[in-house]
Chains A and B, each alone.
Chain A
Amino acid sequence: MSDAIVIEGLTKYYGPRCVVNTVNLRVPAGCVYGFLGRNGAGKSTLVKMLMGMVQPDAGSSKLLGDDSSSLTPDTRARVAYLAEGHPLYRWMTVAQATRFTQAFYAPERWHGRFLDEILDHFRISPKSKMGRLSNGQRAQVSLALALAPDPELLVLDDPTLGLDTVVRRDFLESMIHLIQRSGRTIFFSSHILSDVERVADRIGILVDGVLRVDCPTDTFKAALRRVVLEFSGSVPRFPDCEGLVSQRQIGNRLEIVVVNYGEVHRELAEQLGAIHVEEVEMNLEDAFISYTRGETRPLPSFDREPLRC
């Protein structure tokens, strides 16, 4: 078996809104896959469908060859899942949570020493109550608990959400540590590009439920382009297409961020009636701030109509 995760045509509607739209994706075994999307892009819903917590409206997915909607306990034992926000029982102490979790796994699978080492590294006392831990400590405990049964596949749902910069760094360090240990497959979602770029082998970007980008991390930045289209009249929307990450209207210009800008995009720009098309230098920070902020309404332009005295 070469693919740890196989997703085929996965689709989910919440009411009339399509949250995840016909996503196809394969994550080969041993790959670290970074799944980028802003909050509300459908990341979490997709991850929950992978884990069999949410039933898809169409399509299917497989974890380690086992169908997501009916994962057997055996498969669940081989897969670690960190839900968003690291939910843990706040009334339990760390030691109680460990004992509770351990009860579900075969003794030979459970690496208690490793767990103790992580807790020790982050100076987390087994006697402390979960509810008293900081967000960062809780994230580390939940990662440690997920790793103790030695999983083959890890699915992490935005594990650094709500962590401050320093703690986020600690968490990333733990993830790097984890990648080095063995050829585990890791699928993690995030809303921060730089985290994904540091940790992932492959990057996928979900925009409004559609998987727009799926490429190796190395080529991702080189393939990313910011293109400015200038219009004489009103500014149209750029049609949804492969590689389109975000678009933003500024005055009579339309700024788009595209991966693998090519013939297809050029033709689309021409069809829209752009009078001037220019590829501009990419400031990743800017591009992704606008991306993570979401599609903004066009700024009012003051210079379009001449003043009449």
Chain B
Amino acid sequence: MLKALVWKESRELAPLVALAVIAELMFYFPLNMFISMNMNYSDQGRIPFVSTSLENWLLVVGGATGIALGFWQTAGELSRGTLLFLLHRPVERTTVFTAKLAVGVVLTLLVAGVPILGYALWAATPGTHASPFFWSMTTATWLMWFRLPLFYLGAYLSGLRPGRWLGSRALPLFAAPLLFLLLFIVAYGPLVTVVLTLLVELAYLVAIYLVAQSRDYS
């Protein structure tokens, strides 16, 4: 049944992931390309992971996708009433939410992670571009990537939280980019950042499980 839950969540989120992939490809097809017909627009001559903006674009798309997935899985399913069907399945409520969260986090990471990895592998291949490449140059990008689930979890918690006033409901989502930046500023080395990120994410998860158990599904 875990398989069924994972299948259902992935299938449900597939259209959003497809949109994210299209958005990622948009980087290579900006509007001005059609206007100026300049096929050499892209980052030629720039240094991958140092002076290009591709990796940043991928991160932006990843964060936006995380927010979309988080809302789709909670507020979307609440508004369509299907959560009542899902929560009556004979499994523990935590299992249902764990399956949702696992699929959401993995998809958020994959949406940005796969193209970043591809880009890094391309950059690491000799002869593809005229600039130096070391894997350590990608560390900063990977650390950013590792913090992407914050956006997803923020949206998830906001979507699940009952609340009449939008402001109080959206609080966890608004906190996500602040925490994201805060973790960027705290520069004690990659390990500290990773541990702090995990702690913040854990706090979000605990809040999500508490809300999931206690809220009214009406």
Residues in B whose Cβ lies below 8 Å from that of A75: 90
Contact, CB under 8 Å: B11 / A91: yes
Residues in B whose Cβ lies below 8 Å from that of A87: 80-85
In the complex, chain B residues 80-129 whose Cβ is within 8 Å of any chain A Cβ:
80-85, 87-92
Q: Which of A54, A83, A104 contacts B91 (CB 8 A)?
A: A104
Q: Tell me the smallest distance from the CB of A56 to a CB of chain B, in Å.
A: 10
Map CB proximity to A onto B189-215 as digits: 1 under 8 Å, 0 otherwise: 000000000000000000000000010
A83 nearest CB neighbor, chain B only: B84
Q: Tell me the smallest distance from the CB of B36 to a CB of chain A, in Å.
A: 41
B88 nearest CB neighbor, chain A only: A81
Residues in B whose Cβ lies below 8 Å from that of A76: 88-90
Binding-face segment, B1-9, B37-45, B174-182: B1-9
Contact, CB under 8 Å: B84 / A100: no
Q: How many residues of A contact B (CB 8 A)?
A: 28
A–B complex contacts, Cβ < 8 Å, 13 sampled: A44-B218, A54-B216, A73-B91, A76-B90, A77-B90, A87-B85, A90-B80, A91-B11, A99-B4, A100-B8, A101-B89, A104-B4, A104-B91
Tell which of B7, B91, B216 has the most Cβ of chain A within 10 Å: B216
Q: Given A100-B4, A104-B1, check contact A73 B92 (CB 8 Å).
A: yes
Q: Given A85-B81, A87-B80, check contact A104 B90 (CB 8 Å).
A: yes
B164 nearest CB neighbor, chain A only: A15
CA–CA, A81 to B82, complex, Å? 12
Q: Say yes or no for B29: interface residue by CB 8 A criterion.
A: no
Q: Given A100-B4, A103-B3, check contact A53 B91 (CB 8 Å).
A: no
Map CB proximity to B onto A122-139 as digits: 1 under 8 Å, 0 otherwise: 000000000000000000
Q: Tell me the smallest distance from the CB of A88 to a CB of chain B, in Å.
A: 7
Q: Given A103-B3, A104-B91, check contact A55 B82 (CB 8 Å).
A: no
Top-3 shortest CB links A-B: A103-B4, A87-B81, A77-B90
CA–CA, A31 to B60, complex, Å? 58
Q: Say yes or no for A247: interface residue by CB 8 A criterion.
A: no
CA–CA, A148 to B33, complex, Å? 57
User: Which residues does B use to contact A, with CB under 8 Å?
Assistant: 1, 3-4, 7-8, 11-12, 80-85, 87-92, 214, 216-218
Q: Say yes or no for A45: interface residue by CB 8 A criterion.
A: yes
Q: Tell me the smallest distance from the CB of A210 to a CB of chain B, in Å.
A: 19
Q: Tell me the smallest distance from the CB of B198 to a CB of chain A, in Å.
A: 30
CA–CA, A103 to B90, complex, Å? 10
CA–CA, A44 to B217, complex, Å? 11
Contact, CB under 8 Å: A48 / B218: yes
A56 nearest CB neighbor, chain B only: B216
Q: Tell me the smallest distance from the CB of A216 to a CB of chain B, in Å.
A: 30
CA–CA, A104 to B217, complex, Å? 21
CA–CA, A48 to B214, complex, Å? 14
Contact, CB under 8 Å: B217 / A53: yes
B8 nearest CB neighbor, chain A only: A100
Contact, CB under 8 Å: A73 / B90: yes
In the complex, chain A residues 66-112 whose Cβ is within 8 Å of any chain B Cβ:
73-77, 81, 83-85, 87-91, 99-101, 103-105
Q: Tell me the smallest distance from the CB of B88 to a CB of chain A, in Å.
A: 5
Residues in B whose Cβ lies below 8 Å from that of A48: 84, 216-218
A80 nearest CB neighbor, chain B only: B88
Q: Given A73-B91, A85-B81, check contact A103 B1 (CB 8 Å).
A: yes
Q: Tell me the smallest distance from the CB of A209 to a CB of chain B, in Å.
A: 14
CA–CA, A48 to B4, complex, Å? 25
Residues in B whose Cβ lies below 8 Å from that of A53: 84, 87, 216-218
Known: A53-B84, A76-B88, A76-B89. 18 other contacts (CB 8 A): A44-B218, A48-B217, A54-B216, A54-B217, A55-B214, A87-B81, A87-B82, A89-B12, A91-B11, A91-B12, A100-B4, A100-B8, A103-B1, A103-B3, A103-B4, A104-B4, A104-B89, A104-B90
Residues in A whose Cβ lies below 8 Å from that of B91: 73, 104
Q: Say yes or no for A228: interface residue by CB 8 A criterion.
A: no
